[in-house]
């Protein structure tokens, strides 16, 4: 890898803009310019995503449908079409593969690409990839280019929609000093409030605390923040194809403290995993798994042996994992299965 050879890494984080909703608008042009949400229409349903017209009203992914309708009475709700989204995702990943074999998909609509071995600049490659996606699918993507995964992901959200930002190695220190701590992965509303109580609004202010101070006041989370506020991230873009699990995850923009709403999201993720597992018909399922990551960045996994992927089994696992949190809100929910052997997987933990 580039880092091992002493070369500066060039990591691109590609993130499709409102992927599900953008596909619905593309396929139904009469929706153009109107607020659109994708997800269940029942009172207990949640939005899978919302387009930018709907987001102007405060609508967002994982929001209960009834709340989205309160914020935006004109919102148009469309049913989830996972097969269509999966097909489009496969087309986009095929485009990525033209530029590098080092690809780490995070979900149907985003991925990391390591283009360190390419002679072109990362910014030029990102522009070309985004243009190719637009020409071949009619969909827009945003990109972040940086020396590591964490910074690339932060940058990809900077000029959305249909934009990009590059953070060069020599710019990292200045960029991080002025960055709001809320931009760091793992810092939600409660995290911002905790840091604000310590007089911290920016990463520069966070950098004034020693590692010992942060560990004493914030525990494990403080140690992670010590590295993140300095823009440090040594994780490689992972293309490991030998893992033995298949899963889907949802990270919430704001922490969730309602078990009922978590169950609704769980049902959506379970359906995605069940469909993907069915496509791996030759694989024997060993166990079913639910993962929760809590507001303090601790996490737990509940697992049950067996192959039947019923809603009841996953709700049981969710309840077990939820109880371990002892009242803590949830920032990430994962649903998955583990297989008996080590053949190639899709969308792994």
> Which active-site residues does the annotation give?
110
SS3 annotation, 22-65: HHHHHHCHHHCCCCEEEECCCCCCEEEEECHHHHCCCCCCCCEH
- How far lies 223's CA from each of 16, 98, 189, 216, in Å? 31, 38, 19, 9
Cross-strand pairs, 299: 293
Question: What radius of gyration, in Å, describes the C-alpha atoms of the chain?
Answer: 20
What CA–CA distances, in Å, run from 244 to 90, 184, 342? 21, 30, 5
Residue 240 CB coordination number (10 Å) = 9
Backbone angles phi, psi at 223, to 5 degrees: -65, -40
Query: How far is the C-alpha of 206 from the C-alpha of 177, rounded, in Å?
Result: 9
Q: How many residues does the chain have?
A: 349
Would strands 110-114 and 11-16 be described as parallel, antiparallel, or unpaired?
antiparallel
For 154-297, strand residue ranges (E) read: 164-166, 245-256, 285-294
How far apart CA 19 and CA 139 sit, in angstroms, is 8
Tokens of 204: 């520069």
């Amino acid at each position: 890898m580039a880092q091992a050879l002493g070369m500066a890494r060039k990591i691109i984080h590609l993130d499709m803009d409102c992927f599900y909703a953008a596909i619905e608008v593309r396929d139904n042009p009469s929706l153009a310019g109107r607020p659109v949400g994708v997800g269940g229409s029942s009172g207990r349903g949640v939005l899978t995503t919302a387009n930018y017209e709907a987001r102007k009203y405060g609508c967002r992914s994982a929001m209960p449908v009834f709340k989205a309708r309160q914020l935006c009475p004109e919102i148009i709700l469309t049913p989830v079409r996972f097969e269509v989204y999966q097909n489009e995702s496969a087309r986009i990943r095929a485009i990525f593969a033209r530029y590098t074999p080092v690809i780490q998909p995070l979900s149907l609509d985003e991925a990391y690409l390591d283009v360190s071995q390419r002679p072109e600049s990362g910014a030029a490659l990102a522009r070309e990839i985004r243009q190719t996606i637009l020409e071949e699918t009619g969909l827009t993507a945003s990109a972040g280019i940086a020396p590591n995964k964490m910074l690339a992901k932060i940058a990809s959200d900077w000029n959305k929609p249909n934009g990009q930002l590059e953070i060069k190695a020599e710019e990292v220190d200045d960029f991080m000093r002025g960055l709001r701590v809320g931009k760091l992965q793992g810092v939600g509303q409660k995290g911002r409030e905790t840091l604000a109580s310590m007089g911290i609004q920016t990463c520069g202010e966070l950098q004034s605390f020693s590692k010992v101070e942060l560990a004493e006041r914030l525990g494990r989370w403080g140690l992670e923040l010590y590295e993140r506020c300095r823009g440090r991230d040594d994780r490689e873009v992972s293309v490991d194809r030998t893992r033995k699990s298949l899963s889907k995850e949802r990270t919430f923009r704001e922490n969730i403290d309602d078990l009922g709403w978590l169950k609704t999201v769980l049902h959506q993720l379970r359906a995605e995993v069940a469909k993907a597992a069915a496509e791996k018909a030759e694989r024997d399922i060993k166990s079913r798994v639910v993962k929760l990551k809590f507001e303090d960045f601790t996490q737990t996994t509940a697992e049950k042996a067996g192959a039947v992927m019923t809603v009841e089994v996953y709700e049981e696992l969710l309840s077990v994992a939820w109880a371990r949190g002892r009242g803590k809100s949830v920032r990430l929910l994962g649903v998955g299965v583990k297989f008996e052997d080590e053949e190639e997987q899709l969308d792994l933990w």
